[in-house]
Structure 1
């Protein structure tokens, strides 16, 4: 890839140091930046416990300020298999029911891998902090099992369903260089303005009819 630096542990550590020493929240990189299309490096102890905790704290603050429900390290220019996830936003009862959306407590995942549970898929609009201003409909597994390491190095597994499963899949995909647009119905793509005006319903029935996807 032209003009792409060698991604090794030294590069990774320098990228983290740059973020930790900046004194401000990092910018969220946008689609077209090569780091978003790079296989992130597994975490194997390249960072001290102190630096890892500091990075997770900065990522959490950046996610909340955006605002969003997840942020992967590549989105702030760090090609590391790390993401933070949290969903504490209030939604209408209809939205919560149709999208099976329940609050998700803040947690960090390292080296995650998800496995579908069953064959059920759910179709909903989703956006991405690295594709600011746009949303698209993506079919996601309705339930997944997630295997990951926590920030203390402990191996964990957990099952997620509904909207939580969507967040897990979206953020884990980032770590393999995949954006939601790769899986979206391209005819469903809508600017935030048009999504709010025409398609901001709990389900995608009207959007499917209106946009022919």
Structure 2
């Protein structure tokens, strides 16, 4: 047993021990990351990135756990909100993901965007599309959204999140909802959604309150979606 424990502490097979703070149980050690020379130079010249970020914040970022602030009427139609709207649309398509909230890009405001293009919709298995009413919808952006449940039946379905990259779990959501608000120009937006679209709306509304799907998931279903590849 002692020999086995000793061997388990060595990595890689050449027998070199873990560096200090980089053991299997040391999460803080694995969180540290060294920048390459060019990345360090770029950071020195350009400074740290500023919101809205080009990529979603990952779980652990404080902005994901606070309640987002309402957008004041004086900001509607302004350059800041237009920039945020463009960043959310670009982030959706770069991901690709189906919904994206302002807090995920480091902006603690009550804004989210969602889109399900037809090509992306066709990638879902037919049985799943039928069971969860997965249908395409155009890009929608909502500022200061308000949610109302239309059908309180709870349906369990798989969810992932751009802020928990590489994982998924099953989550219960209401079958149909209505969300209303305004767009970045201050024009009214009203959206009555069923099935998959309703799930996306509820997921993004949670983000605006600092809630992640892992807070609502069935913990037994939490999965690393690449677990098989990690064994190769």
- TM-score by length of structure 1 reads 0.76
1:133 and 2:166 matched: yes
Aligned equivalents of 1:60, 1:195: Cα separation in 2: 32
- The count of corresponding residues between Structure 1 and Structure 2 is 176
Higher CA-based Rg: 2
Aligned equivalents of 2:190, 2:139: Cα separation in 1: 16
1:18 pairs, out of 45, 50, 53, with 50
Give the match for residue 194 of structure 2. Answer: 161
Aligned equivalents of 1:41, 1:97: Cα separation in 2: 37
Shift of residue 159, structure 1, vs aligned partner: 1.1
1:175 and 2:204 matched: no
Give the match for residue 131 of structure 2. Answer: 98
Moved over 6 A (4+): none
1:56 pairs, out of 81, 85, 101, with 85
Shift of residue 150, structure 1, vs aligned partner: 1.8
1:34 pairs, out of 21, 45, 62, with 62
Aligned equivalents of 1:56, 1:141: Cα separation in 2: 27
1:65 pairs, out of 80, 94, 112, with 94
SS at match of 1:18: coil
Per-residue deviation, residues 120-169 of structure 1 (Å, max 9, x unmatched): 11101100000111101100000011121222213333211000000011
Give the match for residue 104 of structure 2. Answer: 75
- Call closer, same or farther: CA 1:57–1:172 in 2, change over 3 Å: same
The answer to whether the 8 Å contact 1:117/1:145 transfers is yes
Aligned equivalents of 2:88, 2:191: Cα separation in 1: 22
- Call closer, same or farther: CA 1:168–1:195 in 2, change over 3 Å: farther
Per-residue deviation, residues 18-75 of structure 1 (Å, max 9, x unmatched): 346xxxx622111111100111010113465233222211221112111100110100
Give the match for residue 141 of structure 2. Answer: 108
Aligned equivalents of 1:99, 1:79: Cα separation in 2: 31
Aligned equivalents of 1:146, 1:103: Cα separation in 2: 17
| RMSD (Å), alpha carbons | 2.0
